[in-house]
Amino acid sequence: MSQLIIKISCVWMTKHNYDELLWMVTPIIEKEETVMRQTISANERLSVTLRYLATGNTFEDLKFVTAISPYQAMGRNIIETCEAIIILLEELHKGW
């Protein structure tokens, strides 16, 4: 009865837990594509945020493992994703 454990951007967690977290934050962090640019997927946003939180790497370091611009999009995306996770945790905590 072993759970599948996966490594997602230096964060070890079950695939189920990652997928559940992604499912919960996607409505909050998902952006609409425009003619001017392609959006960064919710999966990429969550993945780079978890990597940032787990490793403490700088945005400059993270640019080598992701296609996200380190100075504009990455910082904003990590902050927005962290805020989304905080909102979700507050909502879950209210139910306890």
Question: Which pTM was predicted?
Answer: 0.78
pLDDT in single tens digits along all 96 residues of the chain: 344 444 444 557 788 889 999 999 999 998 887 787 778 889 989 988 988 888 888 888 887 777 776 666 888 889 999 999 999 989 888 867
Provide DSSP, 1-69.
-PPPEEEETTEEEEHHHHHHHHHHHHHHH-----SS-PPPPHHHHHHHHHHHHHH---HHHHTTTSSS-
